[in-house]
Amino acid sequence: MFSYVDELTVTVGSLWYWRRCQMFQYFYSVLKRRGARIGVSFSILKTEICHWHTLRDGDSPLRSLVSLDGTLFHPYPSVRWLGYWFTPSMDTSTYFQKRLALAQGAFSIVTQLSPPGMGLAPHMNRSLATGLILPILTYGVDLFTPNASSLVKMTVLWNKVLRWTTNCFYSTPISILPCDGCFPPLDSFLSHKRKMAAFRMEYSSPLINPAAARMPTTFPGHSQKRATDSLRARLGGLKWNYIQLRWD
């Protein structure tokens, strides 16, 4: 799989860890030979390897290492791919901890522009919260779902953002903050993002979106065109920019 600029990923699967190491080393040699034919080389020191497994897998990922061009690589506890952090057990807590840390850093910088009782107007604070803090905090919720503890931590930060946006007192009840700031509650917004991602996947072409091509045959609109006129009635109450979005 190739992604933006010059990154690529190689995924192999086997019941035994040592076999997966052999397969990965083999496909790396294949890529290296094919790249040499067209004058393309790879930076082996930037390689990141992660072992996907479940708790019931008895084969330890630390039993053997992967050797590429004489360099040994240990499996990483988490790897980053296109802005997403993946762990071997596919737990989302690590990913949302990193998103929360980035959002907290952005919020600490933005608050310097508008201290309590002075600085920017509330509508400008709202624009900063909508265009900067919220996208950083909620990036990836269409793929990952935060667990209960991660959602609580994200909600605490979002309540601080709402209190800063509306310039409310600390004694103001939390339930009033979304109304004063004209923001939806965070859990409702995350649910909305996941639904919009499902709509985009359903109405995207399998030739453009690989995820849409892997939907089961019983999924509505599984033909090459997918979005037939009869299926468009499901999007009757949505805005025009949510219909027939292209993923290319």
pLDDT score of 248? 37
Residue with tokens 């072992």: 51
Q: What is the mean pLDDT of residues 201-219?
A: 68
Indicate yes or no: pTM above 0.75. Answer: no
Q: How confident is the model at residue 246 (pLDDT cuts 50, 70, 90)?
A: very low
Average pLDDT, the chain: 75
d(CA 80, CA 82): 7
Contact yes or no for 144/92 (Cβ under 8 A): yes
Angle (nearest 5°) at CA 174 between 168 and 178: 75
**CA separation, residue 3 to residues 7, 31, 34, 138, 243 (Å):** 6, 15, 18, 22, 25
pLDDT score of 237? 53
Q: Mean pLDDT lowest for which of 143-152, 165-174, 180-189, 213-222? A: 213-222
Tell which wins on pLDDT, 62 or 75. Answer: 75
Condensed to tens digits (0 to 9), the pLDDT of residues 78-137 reads 888 777 888 877 778 889 999 999 999 999 888 887 776 666 777 788 888 888 889 999
Percent of the chain with pLDDT over 70: 72
